[in-house]
Amino acid sequence: RRPFRLRVMGTAHLSLPGLDVECEPWSAAREIDVIRSFDVGLMPLRADEWSRGKYLKAIQYLALGVPAVGTRHGVLRDIIRDGENGLLADSPEEWVEKMDRALADRQLRERLSREGRRTAEERYSGQVWAPRFIDILRRTARGLP
């Protein structure tokens, strides 16, 4: 529906007919900068048991203020609230519609970016999880459940 460049991190070569694809080999030193350069972060997953617990890339997108579009499957349904802090899609047609919407609407991307960042800070940040983790360690050391 509109021209865009698909930046793929993690591979040196990928060709998809009809798409402008730019490949970026994964690098710990560049990962954050590459993700921050995305207008929209994509997280398509197969609807299978293996993919039910995959979530790290979505949280990275949210934490870095990159609007996320992900598959409505597994734990992503708990992380991404469709239309609030990201977009969820299932069918190929829904993926096209959600990606087109995100690419066409800068204000939507800005709102999803803000809400995604807020979600990451409130639910997944070190400030939230460090006290919980310390409590687990203390309870374990004392032999408590």
Q: What is the pLDDT of residues 64-116, one digit of tens each?
A: 999 999 999 999 999 999 999 999 999 999 999 999 999 999 999 999 999 99
SS (HEC) of 15-62: CCCCCEEEEECCCCCCHHHHHHCCCCEEECCCCCCCCCCCCHHHHHHH
Handedness of CA 98, 34, 109, 5 (dihedral sign): negative
3-class secondary-structure state, position 69 = strand
Could you tell me the pTM of the whole model? 0.87
User: Residue 145: pLDDT band by 50, 70, 90 thresholds?
Assistant: low
Q: Residue 133: what pLDDT?
A: 92
**Rounded to the nearest 5°, which phi and psi values hold at 42?**
-105, 140
What are the residues whose beta carbons fall under 8 Å from the beta carbon of 134, sequence distance 6 or more?
none
